[in-house]
A and B are shown apart, each in its own frame.
Chain A
Amino acid sequence: MSVAHLTSPAFKENAKGALADVQLQSAMHGVETGVVDRRRATVAKLPEFEALRDSARDIKNHTLAHLDLYLEQFEQRCIAAGGNVHYAVTADEARAKVLEICRKADAKLVTKGKSMIGEEIAINDFLEANGIAPVETDLGEYLVQIRHELPSHIIMPAVHLTQEQIEADFRRVHTHLPADRQLIEPQTLLTEARVILRDRFLSADVGITGANFLIAETGTSIIVTNEGNGDLTQTLPRVHIVLASIEKVVPTLEDVSQLLRVLARSATAQEMSVYTTFSTGPRREGDPDGPNEYHVIILDNGRTAMLGGQFRDMLRCIRCGACMNHCPVYAAVGGHTYGWVYPGPMGAVLTPSIVGIENAGHLPNASTFCGRCEEVCPVRIPLPKLMRHWREREFERHLSPATVRTGLAAWGFLATRPKLYAVAMSLFVFALGLMGKLFGRFRWLPLAGGWTRHRDFPAPDVQTFQAQWKRRVRTQ
């Protein structure tokens, strides 16, 4: 299977580059501190937050148990409202459908709101290759687009960039503007992006957005944004295409209102996002604005298989990004290191489901299992457990590295033979203990380079606890 922009197999090399990248490290510092602290404060103000998480989990579980039913209901209601629903089993099918709609509309320019499904199917590359210009209108996505990068975070696409880098990119790309303009304040950058994008909004033929939720009872798609770009993307062009995936559907408006309460708090520590926009069908008689055509493309891309297996819980994900905001590994290496569209803990579970574990084996392994992701997940996805399930698959299929397998086998052999273990460990500890007597610790040890490259290793006593204990019991 060939997947666009996939560098997950090179996770280790990616990580090496990321750890040495001074600008990235400086940009990532803000994630660890700002977002985490703000979320904690916002959540503390809502005593029922934990109960809301339970309710959010239950709503999603209920929906997943009856997914076919709710998808059908969504389709019926959407069509009744004048919209069109298209199912796409694969990324290829979704791309082809987008192109078909664009071609029919004779589109030259497409504006885009934030859509992770858009990233998943690499729609921008595809449109460009077919002579249609896609323009990202979310500021972060726009930055990523002009840098020819992937988003490094699912809700903060340009979180890996510093203010200085953004300024340099604007000067590089917006060459028609005066070179001596002042761009130091975040506000001036925003204003410049607004001016550039306003023009595109007005001339776009098709607007593509994602969907945070699809509501079955009304046939509505919802986007949650902070910049207002999504609204302009979906109301100004003649055609609006919504890119969604099967697990985005929820039964009712009431359900969505509950999910929205945990989404914004978990994502950006806001009580509510600035814009929460509901779209039901195209422009109706008497509507002041809106598209003439409204299409919802619902992508599967491996999700049905997840529904019937060990990774079903992952389909509860509402894409808030809290797991990556709280992940020490994500904070250290940034989103691009994960090598595809979805980074961090949720990506470590979802990416292998979509691109195959043989292409993303490092992702579920590069976790300390500290459990912070699960602790903050608004829909209580047991992310470490699901990552572990991927490790089990790798182990079963002999995909884990030979060194790991051999080491584990040798250790497992001893650990299941207590008497032999006692003898072997006594010898090991005795030798290591003697060698370490002089300094109390080692700066280098054979076969432990991964440890001693970065830290000292303490010298053990010359006798194990169990040996010392036996002596104590005997002498008592």
Chain B
Amino acid sequence: MGLFVTCLVDLIRPAVGFAAVKLLEDAGCTVEVPTQTCCGQPAFNSGDRKTTREIAEQVIVAFEPYDYVVAPSGSCAGMIKTHYPELFAGDAAWAPRVETFCGKTYELVSFLVDVMRVSKVAAAFDGTVTYHDSCSGLRELGIKAQPRKLLASVQGLTLKELYDSDVCCGFGGTFCVKYPDISNTIVTKKAEHIAETGAGTLLAGDLGCLMNMAGKLQRLGKKVSARHVAEVLAGIDEPAIGER
């Protein structure tokens, strides 16, 4: 299968990519990483259909040979699965290809649980975590039970549910830099809810949201570490996001 590592993981936190590789290999997959850039979502959400389409074609050509395409992000997988068809609608040459492509594209944790039928992982984590349901994964792909199912199998880990875990963290891709003050108000509330759980670690399935929440928690001086859920499931023990 082809790992679509996502641009943020590629640039900011390779550990998530290696965690994904470990989880997929443990589940019996052969993982390859073709040369890649981005899924096109920033262009798509900025109204630039032409650039989005170019990028989408590039992604499809690069990943088409694989049985599955897996991304450690509900946002990027959601972009491909739910929005690529719109880009190619009415294009007789591409539309069937895109349909097949979308059918084999998955977000990492839901792929492990729903397709590879993984029900437990061989990892240990000593501590209490809380979990934020990132919007695209939750609402575009219906990811909610899968990460909780696998987290329940991590030895020593306690999950304390987050109030309003399904409410946006205020990241929103370019939104957070286009409307920084509004984004700040939203993420401040989120950071307060996270701190109220008393958990020492925040987990989520999308690096964008995690960087936003981690950055706010750190700015507020809250003692909560943030990690991608794949890192904990894979038992990878790198310094948490923004820590050393």
Contacts and interface: CB of A to CB of B under 8 A. Distances in A.
Q: Do A and B come from one complex?
A: yes
Interface of A: 12, 15-16, 19, 328-329, 332-333, 365-372, 374-375, 385, 388, 390-396, 400, 404, 408, 411-412, 414-416, 418-419, 421-422, 425, 428-429, 437-441, 443, 448-451, 453-461, 463-466, 468-469
Contact of A450 (B11, B86, B136, B176): B176
Given A368-B171, A369-B172, A400-B46, A415 B38 contact: yes
Given A368-B135, A371-B139, A440-B239, A450 B36 contact: no
Given A15-B181, A415-B38, A415-B55, A469 B17 contact: yes
Contact of A421 (B37, B136, B171, B239): B37
Given A404-B174, A415-B43, A415-B51, 19 more contacts: A19-B181, A329-B182, A333-B185, A366-B175, A368-B172, A370-B168, A372-B139, A395-B47, A408-B43, A412-B43, A416-B51, A425-B11, A441-B242, A456-B242, A457-B211, A458-B12, A458-B242, A459-B242, A460-B13
Nearest 8 CB-CB pairs, A to B?
Answer: A368-B172, A455-B215, A391-B47, A395-B47, A370-B168, A440-B244, A465-B14, A441-B242
B26 interface: no
B40 A415 contact: yes
Contacts, number: 202
Contacts of B54: 412, 416
B5 A440 contact: no
B179 interface: yes
A429 B186 contact: no
A15 B14 CA distance: 36
A371 B135 contact: yes
B116 interface: no
B132 to A, nearest CB: 12
A385 B18 CA distance: 34
Interface centre among A392, A439, A454 (most CB of B within 10 A): A454
Nearest to B140: A371
6 contacts: A371-B136, A374-B139, A404-B46, A438-B244, A450-B178, A454-B180
Contacts of B186: 328-329, 332, 368
Contact of A396 (B47, B55, B170): B47
Nearest to A468: B14
A15 B182 contact: yes
A466 B58 contact: no
A437 to B, nearest CB: 8
Interface string B20-63: 00000000000001011110101111111101001100100000
B135 A370 contact: yes
Interface centre among B166, B180, B181 (most CB of A within 10 A): B181
A414 B183 CA distance: 27
Contact of A441 (B49, B139, B218): B218
Contacts of B40: 415
A117 to B, nearest CB: 29
B180 A450 contact: yes
Interface in B201-230: 211-212, 214-216, 218-219
By secondary structure, the A interface counts as helix
A324 to B, nearest CB: 14
B122 interface: no
Nearest to A463: B14
Nearest to A451: B177
Given A400-B46, A415-B38, A416-B55, A450 B242 contact: no
A455 to B, nearest CB: 3
Contacts of B5: 465-466
Contact of A425 (B10, B168, B219): B10
Given A332-B185, A369-B135, A412 B218 contact: no
B187 interface: yes
Contacts of B182: 15, 19, 329, 332-333, 366
Contacts of B168: 328, 368, 370, 372
Contacts of B199: none
A371 B136 CA distance: 8
Nearest to B12: A460
B159 interface: no
Contacts of B218: 441, 455-456
A19 B179 CA distance: 12
A466 B48 contact: no
A412 B51 CA distance: 6
A411 B42 contact: yes
B47 A400 contact: yes
A457 B179 contact: no
A182 to B, nearest CB: 35
Given A394-B47, A408-B51, A375 B139 contact: yes
Nearest to B178: A365
A468 B5 CA distance: 12
Contact of B178 (A404, A414, A448): A404
A395 B48 CA distance: 6
Given A369-B173, A371-B136, A418-B37, A455 B219 contact: yes
B241 interface: yes
B184 interface: yes
B164 to A, nearest CB: 8
A417 to B, nearest CB: 8
Contacts of A422: 35
Contacts of B232: none
Contact of A455 (B14, B167, B184, B244): B184
Given A375-B139, A395-B46, A455-B184, A465 B17 contact: yes
A415 B37 contact: yes
A393 B48 CA distance: 9
B243 interface: yes
B58 A369 contact: no
